[in-house]
Structure 1
Amino acid sequence: MATLLDYCSLVRSKNAGPFTLTFDFMCHDQHTYQALTNTGILNRTLFAGLFNTTENEILVVNHPRALAVKVSLPRPSIQGDLHDSDCYAGQQYAPLMELQLPELP
């Protein structure tokens, strides 16, 4: 099996304002971008389950010219809240690194 790092040169999470969390998946090349989007693994169901939100609050956008996929969703805690354990949201991608993907064709 493969992981996101086999498909992507960059996987990151960050704030998109104090209420929104965003993820960027930037692929190595056209071949890996096409293979990643063909798996369909980066979908609203996955993120809803991982981040305890509803699917209709999640936006998944494929950017073929940038060889990237962007996912945005509400932050689990408002940035800076007493219960916010990751103020810049830079560690929120960690659970995704264990995803099992098909080997690249």
Structure 2
Amino acid sequence: MKLISLSEVASVIRSKNSGPYELTLDIIFNDKKIFNAACKEKVITESKIAELYGINEEQVISIVEFAPANAIKATIVRPIPSGALGETDVYGAQQHAPLLELKFNID
């Protein structure tokens, strides 16, 4: 087994608005083998997203494994609604950083 970071095996790691009250985190893997390994190892779970983002698991709305695109999508409640006073990322495009160094084992 080899310990790797998500940023080593994903061609895309991004975040974006999913409406004014939600953020979506997208991870698109380089190939099917890595995607399948990540799904098998349960790299992205409600508890892992909650830990990375400092939120309660109940604030993780969904996690979807989308095999046709080798992608995993997680949607969470935004800590501050888009455009609200004190909110600093209206488009939600700068919220993916906690995922970059997430490490997991691969065969």
TM-score normalized by the length of structure 1: 0.89
Aligned to 1:92: 95
Q: Which of 3, 6, 26 is matched with 2:5 structurally? A: 3
Contact 1:7 1:36 in 2 (8 A): no
CA deviations over 1:27-72 (Å, ceiling 9, x no partner): 1111011011122121101122233433233210111122110000
Aligned to 2:69: 66
Moved over 2 A (4+): 49-54
Segments of structure 1 that go 5 or more residues without pairing to the other structure are none
> Over the residues paired in the alignment, what is the CA RMSD in angstroms?
1.4
Q: How many percent identity over aligned positions? A: 32
| Bigger strand fraction | 2
Q: Distance in 2 between matches of 1:17 and 1:57?
A: 15
Written as runs of structure 1 = structure 2, the 5 A alignment for 1:11-90 is: 11-58=13-60, 59-90=62-93
TM-score normalized by the length of structure 2: 0.87
Segments of structure 2 that go 5 or more residues without pairing to the other structure are none
Number of residue pairs aligned between Structure 1 and Structure 2: 104
